[in-house]
Amino acid sequence: MYIDDLPKSSAFYIVLYTDDTYLCLSHKNLDDLQHMVNVELIKVDNWLRSNKLFLNYSKSTFMLTKSLKNNSNLSETCSFQIKINDSCFQRTTCAKYSGVLIDISLDWSSHVQYIKSTSSILSFTHTCLRLYFWQSLSCFIVPCQGTSTR
């Protein structure tokens, strides 16, 4: 069985990254897009089942993004719904793709905010570790300085 065959099973643009799979599809009309996504998702689900794999519906989410050329507003209340086997996918406004956060407006603001928060946590952790090891080494070195064989 080769998971690399999955992209051949559907019209989705499929990206396989370690243990994550990203499915992408675009269309100018939102209603047509919804229909296409639901039809193609059934194809993907069938492929997975035939290869003794499964799609975890509870962990699967979807995100709608607007075209960079189009200033249309994708309201949170729009009726776009992805449904398979009586399970609805949860809609999200931000997704992590290969370590980069992408949001519905396709700008870098979510990722920049994430980097800021992680860098401050890393800086704090580095400071704590540095102090811990400095103190540990001092505690270790001080007794050795006081011992003498004479």
93 lies in the same domain as 119: no
Cα distance between residue 103 and residue 113, in whole Å: 12
pLDDT per residue as tens digits for the range 115-137: 777 766 666 665 655 555 544 44
48 lies in the same domain as 25: yes
Q: What pLDDT is attached to residue 132?
A: 52
Phi–psi pair at 45, nearest 5 degrees: -60, -40
74 lies in the same domain as 147: no
Q: What pLDDT is attached to residue 135?
A: 47
150 lies in the same domain as 89: no
Q: What pLDDT is attached to residue 1?
A: 55
- The per-residue pLDDT of the chain, averaged, comes to 75
103 lies in the same domain as 135: no
Cα distance between residue 124 and residue 122, in whole Å: 5
Domain that holds residue 125: 108-150
Quick check: 84 and 23 in contact, CB under 8 A?
no
pLDDT per residue as tens digits for the range 32-83: 999 999 999 999 999 999 999 888 888 888 888 876 566 566 665 578 888 8
Into how many domains does the chain fold? 2
92 lies in the same domain as 44: yes
98 lies in the same domain as 118: no
